[in-house]
Chains A and B, each alone.
Chain A
Amino acid sequence: MKETFDVAIVGAGPAGISAACILADAGIRTIVFERGEYPGAKNLSGGVLYGHNLAQILPDYVERHCPVERNIVESRVWYLSRESGYNLGYRDSVFAADRKYNAFTVGRAKFDRWYAEQARMKGALVVPSTVVVDLIRNGHGAVAGVVTGRTDGEVQAKITLLADGVNSPLATRAGFRRELAPEEVALAVKEVIELPGEVISQRFCVSGTEGVTAEILGEIAGGMDAVGFLYTNQSSLSLGLGANLADFAAFKLKPYELIEAFKQHPMIAPLISGGKTLEYTAHWLAEGGYDTIPHLYGDGYLIAGDSAMLFNALHREGNNLAMASGKMAAEAIIEAVHRGNFSRKGLSGYGERLAGSFILKDMKKYRKFGRFLYQHKEIFDRLPALSSFAAREMLTVNGVAKNQKQRLIGREFRRQGMSLFRLLRLLWQAWRAVK
């Protein structure tokens, strides 16, 4: 193609579109490529977004009719064993009023499409159904644009932003990122289960557009290092779980069997009962953490979002890291364009911004957490079973004195190698991994 652009962005997800919005606002000629039929067609995420990050890019997103499903007023954490589980929830009316848009669920197919439309209205050109297959390099090895899979598909651009997601084959092929090891990614599967809005409101004890999230831990995936979630949308539920890819290989379990079993769990079955599965999707999660982050920029290019492995596994934050990193990339690009310097040096504002932000600080804080979970399988099998056993025994009224029950429970913990000392050590190690 003859026409040239200032910036070519690969991927119309949260990172790419956030950058496109900022760039278009600054009057920078931007083209965005999306491999899906429309932005959002290829995405998977439980679907919780944080208003704070979106407002950084579109302060008036509510007025622009952002397709919000439900505002989250209650966050639950479940710790499940095979047939039982603990539920810890926090509900606050402030999240139904003043901080209504703190966190909300969105359907990615709808949201990403809407988000890309905002970028388009600001002046960015969003090109769907087009795969970027390679990068153009100039004589000095600097990135000088992209090659798409279409006829006459080369596009020259001063700067290229790779925001093509966790499975970024482009960054890998270009040598910007090494091939990921199985234990550095999780494989997540998700079902969207349709239910009438009022039934969802009743089952989760909320009204109107209020919603609930549940993060689910414990023995939910046959003992693998796994995390699940259940989020409320307007008239559907998103239910999913992700487990370490290396575990999938070692445990020889199949994702679709796992989610089927997950749906039968007594904590979940009544909530989804009568629902009809609308979608079944699977995706990788960039769970490798701080140590897998590649060089984030170089001559003529930057990497943002999941393709840069910016994902906070513990807090299940990916979208907002993508948005924030996309914004920072755009700001650095604007500086580079004004200076006329598109080299690694010219783009260094990106690295500075990331280092000073919550993104890299959080990632650094939790850098050892992924490894901790991966190496302590007892969190995903023995501990859930034992803690359920403890609660079951204490709650069963059968004429046995509570002291005696406690001793019984203690003995069972020790018998399974989970003495008080081991528990405290586990807690200490967990603390060390996140402090």
Chain B
Amino acid sequence: MHIICCVKQVPDTTQVKIDPATNTLVRTGVESICNPYDLVAAEAAVQLVEKYGGKVTVISMGPPQAESVLRECLALGAHEAILLSDRAFGGADTLATSYTLSQAISRIAAKDPVHLVICGKQAVDGDTGQTGPGIATRLGFNQFTYVSEIMGVDPERNTITVKREIEGGAEVIEGKLPALLTAELELSTIRYASLPELVRSLRQTVRVWGAKELGGLPERLGLKGSPTSVKEIFAPPVRGGGLVFDSGQNSERVVKDFLDTFFEKEKRLLDGLLTKDGHAQEH
């Protein structure tokens, strides 16, 4: 079984800054990590191959430094890694990204047929969840989104059975391969790589494909192939801290202050509700 895993390097989102002039994320000085959902996807792919045989190829589209997330996947046990890196890919929205990734997968599949593609359910920087389904659609693969467990693969019947999260529960479904899954965090538990695997991942060469190697239509790549335009982007306002009642000096007074404040707030809340009810009666 040949599994392809698509991974993305994302900024460590605890400290995201936005450039007010260009409306884009400021990446300099911010640590980058592998999108957590993608890492889970890579681990799941490796576990499948360990069970059923085959190989895992990880691909990522991004700047040269995105190589580090591919190495992280190699340390988990992925066999090959390809970085799609070219200025022409820059500024891509999910439409252009899924086009580029599907082109790469088709190219890999031409030499070595692909049975399964696993992506994270979404990237923590964009949160769209569109790239995986976009790839499946372009490749004509069956798609299983929000997968929390792979129940099994039946090589004879060429099918896969997965459990996926749905509103209010989960469903178990089976479908034909080739297929594409998008991973929930529960899909796998990421291993602590053994030393030989880690050393191998550090030494292995990561191939780089640019627009030329990839083929495809240049007008559908990167910024040119991206109809999405970002009108505005902003960080949510910082929430002020709550009130502090320090019992250091006079505990009786502090308790009284606390109760006063608490009931004052409660009263305002109740007043608000009552007024609303009042309006409702009028209508």
A: residues with CB less than 8 A from B are 1-3, 31, 125-127, 129-130, 148, 150-153, 155
Do A152 and B202 have beta carbons less than 8 Å apart?
no
Comparing B108-116, B126-134, B193-201, B246-254, the segment that makes contact with chain A is B193-201
Do B193 and A150 have beta carbons less than 8 Å apart?
yes
Residues on B with C-beta less than 8 A from A151 are 192, 194-195
Question: B179-206 interface mask toward A, CB cutoff 8 Å, 1 = contact, 0 = none?
Answer: 0000000000000111110110011000
Do B199 and A152 have beta carbons less than 8 Å apart?
no
Enumerate the 9 nearest inter-chain pairs by beta-carbon distance, A residue then B residue, closest first.
A151-B194, A150-B195, A153-B195, A152-B194, A1-B196, A1-B195, A152-B195, A152-B196, A150-B194
Residues on B with C-beta less than 8 A from A152 are 194-196
Residues on A with C-beta less than 8 A from B202 are 125-127
Do B195 and A155 have beta carbons less than 8 Å apart?
yes
Q: How far is the CA of A172 from the CA of B192 in the complex (A)?
A: 27
Residues on B with C-beta less than 8 A from A31 are 199
Q: How far is the CA of A148 from the CA of B198 in the complex (A)?
A: 12
Do B203 and A130 have beta carbons less than 8 Å apart?
no
How many Cβ-Cβ contacts under 8 Å join chain A to chain B? Answer: 33
Do A148 and B195 have beta carbons less than 8 Å apart?
yes
Do B192 and A1 have beta carbons less than 8 Å apart?
no
* A/B interface sample: 15 pairs, CB < 8 A: A1-B195, A1-B196, A2-B196, A3-B199, A125-B202, A125-B203, A127-B195, A129-B198, A130-B195, A130-B198, A150-B194, A151-B195, A152-B194, A152-B196, A153-B194
Interface of B is mostly: helix
Do A150 and B203 have beta carbons less than 8 Å apart?
no
Residues on B with C-beta less than 8 A from A126 are 202
> Quick one: which of B153-185 are within 8 Å of A by CB?
none
Q: How large is the interface on B (under 10, 10 to 19, 20 to 34, 35 or more residues)?
A: under 10
Measured CB to CB, the closest approach of chain B to A49, in angstroms, equals: 20
- Residue from B195, B198, B203 with most neighbouring chain A CB atoms (10 Å): B195
Measured CB to CB, the closest approach of chain A to B77, in angstroms, equals: 12
Q: How far is the CA of A31 from the CA of B202 in the complex (A)?
A: 12
Measured CB to CB, the closest approach of chain B to A32, in angstroms, equals: 11
Residues on B with C-beta less than 8 A from A129 are 198
Residues on B with C-beta less than 8 A from A150 are 192-195, 198
> Quick one: which of B188-235 are within 8 Å of A by CB?
192-196, 198-199, 202-203
Q: How far is the CA of A69 from the CA of B202 in the complex (A)?
A: 29
Do B198 and A127 have beta carbons less than 8 Å apart?
yes
Measured CB to CB, the closest approach of chain B to A40, in angstroms, equals: 11
Q: How far is the CA of A286 from the CA of B147 in the complex (A)?
A: 51
Residues on A with C-beta less than 8 A from B195 are 1, 127, 130, 148, 150-153, 155
Q: How far is the CA of A155 from the CA of B193 in the complex (A)?
A: 15
Residues on A with C-beta less than 8 A from B194 are 150-153
Measured CB to CB, the closest approach of chain A to B238, in angstroms, equals: 11
- Residue from A2, A127, A129, A151 with most neighbouring chain B CB atoms (10 Å): A151
Q: How far is the CA of A31 from the CA of B203 in the complex (A)?
A: 12
Residues on A with C-beta less than 8 A from B192 are 150-151
Residues on B with C-beta less than 8 A from A148 are 195
Measured CB to CB, the closest approach of chain B to A187, in angstroms, equals: 26
Q: How far is the CA of A289 from the CA of B142 in the complex (A)?
A: 68
Measured CB to CB, the closest approach of chain B to A47, in angstroms, equals: 15
Which single residue of chain A is at the shortest CB-CB distance from B33?
A: A37
Q: How far is the CA of A151 from the CA of B192 in the complex (A)?
A: 8
Which single residue of chain A is at the shortest CB-CB distance from B68?
A: A38
Measured CB to CB, the closest approach of chain A to B64, in angstroms, equals: 13
Residues on A with C-beta less than 8 A from B193 are 150
Measured CB to CB, the closest approach of chain B to A331, in angstroms, equals: 26
Measured CB to CB, the closest approach of chain A to B132, in angstroms, equals: 27
Residues on A with C-beta less than 8 A from B196 are 1-3, 152
Q: How far is the CA of A35 from the CA of B11 in the complex (A)?
A: 22
Known: A31-B199, A125-B199, A129-B198. 14 other contacts (CB 8 A): A1-B195, A2-B196, A3-B196, A126-B202, A127-B202, A130-B195, A150-B192, A150-B195, A150-B198, A151-B194, A151-B195, A152-B195, A152-B196, A153-B194
Measured CB to CB, the closest approach of chain B to A314, in angstroms, equals: 34
Measured CB to CB, the closest approach of chain A to B189, in angstroms, equals: 15
Which single residue of chain B is at the shortest CB-CB distance from A278?
A: B15
Residues on B with C-beta less than 8 A from A127 are 195, 198-199, 202
Q: How far is the CA of A127 from the CA of B195 in the complex (A)?
A: 9
Q: How far is the CA of A127 from the CA of B193 in the complex (A)?
A: 12
Measured CB to CB, the closest approach of chain B to A119, in angstroms, equals: 13
Which single residue of chain B is at the shortest CB-CB distance from A153?
A: B195
Which single residue of chain B is at the shortest CB-CB distance from A109?
A: B31
Q: How far is the CA of A148 from the CA of B203 in the complex (A)?
A: 19
Q: How far is the CA of A205 from the CA of B225 in the complex (A)?
A: 49
Residues on B with C-beta less than 8 A from A1 are 195-196, 199
Residues on B with C-beta less than 8 A from A130 are 195, 198
Measured CB to CB, the closest approach of chain A to B67, in angstroms, equals: 12
Q: How far is the CA of A151 from the CA of B77 in the complex (A)?
A: 14
Which single residue of chain B is at the shortest CB-CB distance from A120?
A: B202
Measured CB to CB, the closest approach of chain B to A31, in angstroms, equals: 8
